[in-house]
Chain A
Amino acid sequence: MSRDEIPPGTLYLLILKTLALRGVLHGYEIAESIQYHSEDVEEGSLYPALQRMLIKGWVTAKWGVTAGNRRARYYTLTADGKKQLAIELRKFDRVMGAVTRVIPASL
């Protein structure tokens, strides 16, 4: 069974949107929010994406403690991250728009 990898662009969009909606989260919480319940998608690819976003300055991270007293890294959206969210949404709309024009929704 081969797994689908979420295209990196979409992944950024999902993470940015989740953080914008829910504030400060750690990796597992973000995964839950994005509803990675299906086995078809790799959850772990979240972490490289988060690291890239850290480098690009879209999020910041701080170590904290979870409810279960475990050490976890909490991510927050930055101002640049908010701007990037808008950009990613526009990109996504453009791509989806192109796709749905070719493949009509009611197929």
Chain B
Amino acid sequence: MSLPGEIKRRIQMLFHRNQLSRDLEDEMRLHLDLRRQQQLDRGLTESAAARTAHLTFGNTARIKEKSPMTWGSETLESFFADVAYGTRALFRSPALTVVALLSLALGIGAHAAIFSLLDAVMLRSLPVKDPQQLVLFGEGHMRGIGDDVALTQLFSNPFFRQFRQHNTVFSDVAGIFSRTNEVHGFVEGDNEPQPITAQVITGNYFPLLGVHAYIGRTLIDADDNSEGDHPVAVVSYAWWERGLAQDPNVLGKKIKARLGHLLHRRRRSARVLRHHRRRSSTGLGSPRAN
């Protein structure tokens, strides 16, 4: 009915609590004084009049408690008192508290970790241009090699070329996951082999995704148009950070890896180059023509 008005007045009451409390005291005092005066006029003594006034009025403190103003603050104050009591109780039995806290911490930590992982892997869009317009043919499991007949998830190079030529639907098509290898390779200047995850991709992969290099350049189509001529690779930011210690002179360094040949390492792409299946698993992207 007049509920909004009532709510507004209640909120106003919260804000002017102190003033309203003083007002109430004034009112009650006036009432007591008038009552006392009335009794005096009837002939009672001072003390008897005062006593009668208070008796008829009732218990001031209890009446103030019943007033609607105290309701809000009462709840809040009792809440804080309860919290303080609970905290004291916790301190009284420290062993129990520690165990409980540890369990909570483990549980919350585990959940947070799992969620961040899933968030990065599944929930976040790919940090590329227009991720919702990307389409993956198949599931990306095949890694370039398959023996089965009638594979629907693995596409040969001729197929890819034909598709690209006659493509009328997509803005472009790139080949990925052609041979994803976990190899050990040598970076020029290091004597220790390093684990590298390398992936063979077509030259138009980076332009298609709109991904730019952090230093140097990414692969382009021209890197991919003749066999054996372009021993170049793109290094992911993550590997550059971890495995190559953010070496600023990394461009032009040679990597030797079991992909079968020496590669110039070139440019890295921004930390963007994240596999959409595993976090930074691909360290190296090398054009298919190699």
Residues of chain A touching chain B, judged by Cβ–Cβ distance below 8 Å, are: 3, 26-28, 31, 36, 39, 42-45, 47-48, 51-52, 54-57, 66, 70-73, 80
Query: Is B33's CB under 8 angstroms from A70's CB?
Result: yes
Q: Which residues of B contact A43 (CB under 8 A)?
A: 31, 35, 56-58
Query: Is B9's CB under 8 angstroms from A51's CB?
Result: no
B183 part of interface (Cβ distance < 8 Å): no
Query: Is A48's CB under 8 angstroms from B6's CB?
Result: no
Query: Is B67's CB under 8 angstroms from A36's CB?
Result: no
Partner of A47, one of B5, B27, B55, B59: B27
Query: Is B10's CB under 8 angstroms from A55's CB?
Result: yes
* Among all A-B residue pairs, the 6 with the closest Cβ atoms: A42-B58, A44-B58, A44-B63, A48-B66, A48-B67, A28-B34
Q: Which residues of B contact A28 (CB under 8 A)?
A: 30-31, 34-35
Q: Which residue of B lies closest to A31 (CB)?
A: B31
Query: Is A73's CB under 8 angstroms from B27's CB?
Result: yes
A47 to B13: give the CA distance in the assembly, Å: 15
Q: Which residues of A contact B27 (CB under 8 A)?
A: 26-27, 47, 72-73
Q: Output the residue of B1, B68, B69 with the most chain A CB within 10 A.
A: B68
Known contacts A27-B31, A56-B6; A45 and B68 CB within 8 A of each other? no
Q: Which residues of A contact B58 (CB under 8 A)?
A: 3, 42-45
Q: Which residues of A contact B23 (CB under 8 A)?
A: 73
Q: Which residue of B lies closest to A36 (CB)?
A: B56
Q: Which residues of B contact A55 (CB under 8 A)?
A: 6, 9-10, 13, 68
A46–chain B nearest beta-carbon distance, Å = 8
Q: Which residue of A lies closest to B66 (CB)?
A: A48
Chain B contact residues: over half helix, strand or loop, or mixed? Answer: helix
Query: Is A70's CB under 8 angstroms from B57's CB?
Result: no
Q: Which residues of A contact B26 (CB under 8 A)?
A: 71
0 or 1 for each of B13-35: is its CB under 8 Å from A? (1 = yes): 10000000001101110110111
B60 part of interface (Cβ distance < 8 Å): yes
A73–chain B nearest beta-carbon distance, Å = 6
B8–chain A nearest beta-carbon distance, Å = 10
Provide 29 A-B residue pairs closer than 8 Å at the C-beta atoms, listed in order of the A residue: A27-B28, A27-B31, A28-B34, A36-B56, A39-B52, A39-B55, A39-B56, A42-B56, A42-B59, A43-B56, A44-B60, A45-B58, A45-B66, A47-B24, A47-B28, A47-B31, A47-B67, A48-B68, A51-B24, A51-B67, A51-B68, A54-B9, A55-B10, A56-B6, A57-B5, A57-B6, A72-B30, A73-B23, A73-B27
Q: Which residues of B contact A45 (CB under 8 A)?
A: 58, 63, 66
Partner of A57, one of B2, B13, B56: B2
Q: Which residues of A contact B10 (CB under 8 A)?
A: 55
Residues 43 to 81 of chain B near chain A (Cβ within 8 Å): 52, 55-60, 63, 66-69
Q: Which residues of B contact A44 (CB under 8 A)?
A: 28, 31, 57-60, 63
Q: Which residues of B contact A47 (CB under 8 A)?
A: 24, 27-28, 31, 63, 67
Query: Is B2's CB under 8 angstroms from A56's CB?
Result: yes
Query: Is B68's CB under 8 angstroms from A52's CB?
Result: yes
Q: Output the residue of A51, A52, A70 with the most chain B CB within 10 A.
A: A51
Q: Which residue of A lies closest to B34 (CB)?
A: A28
B59–chain A nearest beta-carbon distance, Å = 7
A16–chain B nearest beta-carbon distance, Å = 15
